[in-house]
Structure 1
């Protein structure tokens, strides 16, 4: 069995690769004081970097779960998302309203992707 844990700490790994599937931990904004557009942009930049570090990219997304502090932010978050996802490569996706780990966080994403070959 092929299993690789990337950037593992006491509580979690930032990514786990099992065979050809990559599971990312939840990613949040770099600047937690930004608006939903800024938070979504920097969150997705972190997803790009983490996927690249384990041999994948946004063209190999399988699924995404997006957690929003308030569904009123959904439309603005989707504008950033739609510009980020390559046309024809949209993953299966769910968006839910959730109580966030920190009050200033507006959005978090959890991604599953395939290893790029």
Structure 2
């Protein structure tokens, strides 16, 4: 398992960000003041290199909800959710296009850039 390097967006130049994207190695950005603009800029860089991308909202600490109240049913719900997710991935991979890069928004000021392992760098 490779560990993604962490960079501070407010200290990263646009040239360095372009270099990070061209390496096609996973990385993590912190201190992103305007997340929407950063994501749009990264997607534009990736698109210029012929890579497709998708944005995934995955907060590290989601707020408490009904699932916390129903903790006794969590194992059953988790199993059903895992089965449904696995089935959706199988169906999606058979019918939909593959995504080269996932931009995972982990908080209001941070994101992970994750490259698909099936694509080899040029």
TM-score range, shorter chain: 0.3 to 0.5
The structure number with the bigger radius of gyration is: 2
Q: Give the TM-score normalised by the residue count of structure 2.
A: 0.36
Instruction: Select the structure that is richer in helix.
Output: 2
Q: Give the TM-score normalised by the residue count of structure 1.
A: 0.37
